[in-house]
Structure 1
Amino acid sequence: MTTKTSELLAVAAPGTTAVVRGVADDQLDRPTPCPDYTVRHLLNHLFDVVVNFQAMARREEVDWSGKTDHLVDGWRDRFATEAARLTEAWSDPAALEGVSPGMGLPQETVGLMGLIDLTVHGWDLARAVGQEYAVDPSVVAAGHEFMDRMGDMGQRMGAFGVPVPTDAAPGTLAALLGRTGRDPAWTR
């Protein structure tokens, strides 16, 4: 079975997974477009995203405060496994029903939060390590729909930075990045 959320995750996860697989050990201390994160910190956050959003699909509360270093033997393969499990967790239609106990938001919104995290941080990581990163138009469109509904609240809660004005056409990845507080022209 699939859901719209799992279908979008199935399209988005391979791109982020490919970037993760391509990160070299000597790139872990590089800065990223997220000013508080080095590549190492961002990778650890992405691990938390793929694991914690699986739990949220099951309506389990999660603790984002843990600072586990996931970058131990086999971390690239483990990330790929966890990203696939994330997609699988959101493929159950029951995952989209009701309200998240930990966040008080509709489960469908929580699933899209995971998609946005995976996608935008995939771009952050790719930009930091000099990799190409393409995002399917369906994922970009879902990201804009999410930002239309939740962008202001996300910014107030610190999930997104202050929007960065861009010359990008509306509906593009660059425009979405700007809406989440990223400069699409960021370079290391």
Structure 2
Amino acid sequence: MDATTVDLGPQTLILARLAEGIGDGQLDGPTPCPAYTVSGMLAHLLTLSLAFRDAGRKRLGPMTDGAPDPAAAALPPGWRAELPKALEELAAVWREPAAWDGMTRAGGLDLPGAVAGAVVADELVVHGWDLARATGQGYAPDEAALRLAHGLLEGAAAETGEGRGMFGPVVAVPEGAPLLDRTVGLSGRTPDWRP
């Protein structure tokens, strides 16, 4: 892969391990993303994995046409088998250079493949952090996916200005903070969030 693409496989494996470590008793707990409980976040990750799999294949349709709806995020009973499979398929699709080329659609928005790849890296990194914080697990995201996510969020914050990012107000983080903390702050989350 060249410098404009990232292998999402390491980050999807990290997410699959996080999901495996979540107990049934934790599913109703809050996450740093106020729109989602742990269960809702897992459902969101399952849906976005399928949507961005299709976006990477340029198979546009129902999965790529709609924006995520937190209220509709219902976790299916077989999620423990379905989520790792969806994450694996997602990573396989985005290993293909064609996924990063041309135009595609995700969340109902038409966008270049390279931007869609950065968006999915951001989703995987930040929502991995959400799940780790919500369930008390350690978290070290894949460095390449983290750098891509940070670049996307930093660029969006610079474009919008006035302390706003892609997902709302940016949370100020000290300049020397770790890259993960800076990325989390750019996503509108407080790096020291606890349930």
Output the TM-score relative to the length of structure 1. 0.87
Aligned residues between the structures: 185
In the TM superposition, what whole-angstrom CA distance separates every residue of 1:64-106 from its partner, at most 9, and x where no partner exists? Answer: 4563533313x12211111010011112222121122452321
Matches for 1:160-171 after TM superposition, within 5 Å? 160-167=167-174, 169=176
The sequence identity of aligned pairs, in percent, is 32
Partner in structure 1 of residue 56 of structure 2: 57
Q: 2:49 & 2:178 partners in 1: Cα distance?
A: 25
Q: 2:40 & 2:11 partners in 1: Cα distance?
A: 21
Q: Higher strand fraction: Structure 1 or Structure 2?
A: 2
Code of the aligned partner of 2:92: E
Q: Is the 8 A contact 1:166 1:175 kept in 2?
A: yes
In the TM superposition, what whole-angstrom CA distance separates every residue of 1:120-178 from its partner, at most 9, and x where no partner exists? Answer: 001101100111111132222212221233346789x9851211111252661001100
Q: 2:92 & 2:127 partners in 1: Cα distance?
A: 20
Matches for 1:27-42 after TM superposition, within 5 Å? 27-42=26-41
Q: 2:147 & 2:177 partners in 1: Cα distance?
A: 10
Which one has more relative contact order, counting CA pairs under 8 Å at least 6 apart?
Answer: 1
Unaligned runs of 5+ in 2: none
Matches for 1:42-81 after TM superposition, within 5 Å? 42-59=41-58, 60-61=60-61, 62=64, 63-65=66-68, 67=72, 69-73=74-78, 75-81=79-85
Identify the range of structure 1 (127-136 vs 63-72) with the bigger mean alpha-carbon deviation.
Answer: 63-72
Matches for 1:1-188 after TM superposition, within 5 Å? 5-7=5-7, 9-59=8-58, 60-61=60-61, 62=64, 63-65=66-68, 67=72, 69-73=74-78, 75-101=79-105, 102-151=108-157, 159-167=166-174, 169=176, 172-188=179-195
Q: Is the 8 A contact 2:6 2:144 kept in 1?
A: no
Q: Is the 8 A contact 1:28 1:38 kept in 2?
A: yes
Output the TM-score relative to the length of structure 2. 0.84
Does the C-alpha gap of structure 1 residues 151 and 84 become closer, same or farther in structure 2, counting only changes over 3 Å? farther
Q: Is the 8 A contact 1:57 1:89 kept in 2?
A: yes
